[in-house]
Amino acid sequence: MPQLTVVVPAYNEAAVLEAFHRRLSAVLDALPLDTAVLYVDDGSTDGTWAGLEALVAHDPRVHALKLSRNFGKEAALTAGLDHVTEGAAVVIDADLQDPPELIPELVAKWQAGHDVVYATRSARAGETRLKRLTAAGFYRTMERLSDTPLPRDTGDFRLLSRRALDALARLRERQRFMKGLFAWIGYRQTAVHYQREPRQAGRTKWNYWRLIQFAIEGITSFSTAPLRLATWVGLGSSLLAFVYGLWVLTKALIWGDPVRGYPTLMLVILFLGGVQLLALGVIGEYLGRSYAETKQRPLYFVEEERRHGDLSPRG
């Protein structure tokens, strides 16, 4: 039984898979632990699954799961972690942006008694200035809004002890903001610092649209601050409207009121309309989330599972 399983979500990573596995294997070979690698093919459309089958055939340490479609990284990670039934797990990206060479350091902290050892990046080489800036802004915003403080500049690259994995397995919410969930479970958490490298090959699946979605997801699944903000904006604008109303009334009573004031009227209507729509949107965002949650759908489906030595593919 492996004491440590490395979980790797992979979506269209055929270009880096071999290089990644070679580097990872070198690291694992040097570890005085019983190790396994679990790849989760998140519905790739390139040669990723074929590549994984080849790895499984050659390396007894490798297991592979194939999800029934692309469920997204968070679900792929969850699928992987669910299948780690014994020992601890390390979560790492397949694109070599998280250096496998850091794993021994994570393991050392784990053996010193920590439950969650996360890797915090000190530099982001090969990423555009804009991405770095937006990422920084995202973490700062999250920090202010969220009820569960997130460690800064931390991706999913981390080690989870057995009890951390057991705790995580009990969080079955559909809106899986993994960084938040990892932090939410608590236990003894600590950081290890490293330099983040540029992607080796292939393309990032992130674009700004996905990043914005991700940010909204992160904020709404870990904070109700936007709801409160809507309340405050509503309160503030009603107060302003009241004061202005008093002024208009007084003015009309004292000086009378020839038909004027179309611009102010328009302004107030448009402004209040905007605020109301915004607040509705925020409420809708949370309502949509509750709706998705109440459906209680499974988080993923496994189409195939391969282990070294399997004769026939399992469904």
Q: Determine phi and psi for 60, rounding to 5 degrees.
A: -65, -15
Among the listed ranges 58-66, 90-98, 249-257, 277-285, the one in contact with ligand UDP (CB under 6 A) is 90-98
**From the list Mg ion, ligand UDP, none, partner contacted by residue 10 (C-beta under 5 to 8 A by kind):** ligand UDP
Among 205, 214, 268, 301, binds ligand UDP (CB under 6 A): 205
**From the list ligand UDP, Mg ion, none, partner contacted by residue 72 (C-beta under 5 to 8 A by kind):** ligand UDP
Q: Is 12 in the site for Mg ion (CB under 5 A)?
A: no
Q: In what order do the strands lie in the sheet with 4-10?
A: 189-196, 116-124, 154-160, 88-91, 4-10, 35-41, 62-67, 302-307
Among 5, 35, 44, 97, binds Mg ion (CB under 5 A): 97
Work out how close the CB of 234 gets to Mg ion at its nearest, in angstroms, rounded to a whole number.
40
207 or 312: whose CB is closer to Mg ion?
207
Q: Is 308 in the site for ligand UDP (CB under 6 A)?
A: no
Q: How many residues bind ligand UDP (CB under 6 A)?
A: 16
- Count how many residues are written for the chain: 315
Among 13, 53, 74, 95, binds Mg ion (CB under 5 A): 95
Work out how close the CB of 283 gets to Mg ion at its nearest, in angstroms, rounded to a whole number.
34
**From the list Mg ion, ligand UDP, none, partner contacted by residue 42 (C-beta under 5 to 8 A by kind):** ligand UDP
Give the C-alpha distances (Å, rounded to integers) separating 289 from 74, 148, 237.
16, 18, 27
30/314 Cα distance (integer angstroms): 32
Q: Sort strands 189-196 and 88-91 into parallel, antiparallel or unpaired.
A: unpaired
201 or 266: whose CB is closer to Mg ion?
201
Geometric angle at alpha carbon 143, from 139 and 145, rounded to 5°:
115
164/187 Cα distance (integer angstroms): 7
Q: Is 206 in the site for ligand UDP (CB under 6 A)?
A: yes
Q: Determine phi and psi for 267, rounding to 5 degrees.
A: -60, -50
How is residue 204 written in tokens? 């990032």
Which stretches of the chain bind ligand UDP, using CB under 6 A? Answer: 9-11, 13, 42, 70, 72-73, 76, 93-95, 97, 204-206
